[in-house]
Amino acid sequence: GAVVSQHPSWVICKSGTSVKIECRSLDFQATTMFWYRQFPKQSLMLMATSNEGSKATYEQGVEKDKFLINHASLTLSTLTVTSAHPEDSSFYICSARDGGQGRGSFGSGTRLTVV
């Protein structure tokens, strides 16, 4: 149980373009989803918390206009990296949590490379 699917697993894009990453909870309803970023040889840093049907809460230092988060349903949250730059190249991981059961799990991550 508590399976989270993240897509795509890797993406290469040109500077200035936008990239959308999807995070789906497959066997539970995720009232809350979290988006993390992991730079090489570093820990995971929480970027934002999204709750279904409301605006995401961003951590300090994370640009909300650059990293657009949409949590339109209880099983899907999307992260869009807008006008991507090489410094946005990173490993992005989502986590979904079932508020009722307390279960949570991580997606497999998306490796973004901006060239």
In this complex, which beta carbon is closest to another protein, that of residue 10 or of residue 63?
A: 10
In this complex, which beta carbon is closest to another protein, that of residue 62 or of residue 82?
A: 62
Which of 5, 105, 88, 93 has its CA nearest to residue 43?
Answer: 93
How many residues contact another protein, by CB under 8 A? 19
Provide the minimum distance between the beta carbon of 14 and another protein in the complex, in angstroms, as a whole number: 25
Residues 60-99 that bind another protein (CB under 8 A): 93, 95, 97
Binding to another protein by residue 105, rule CB under 8 A?
Answer: yes
Q: How far apart are CA 34 and CA 77, in angstroms?
A: 9
Q: How far apart are CA 88 and CA 84, in angstroms?
A: 6
Q: How far apart are CA 97 and CA 45, in angstroms?
A: 17
Look up residue 14 and give its amino acid: K
Residues that bind another protein (CB under 8 A): 32, 34, 36, 42-46, 49, 93, 95, 97, 102, 104-109
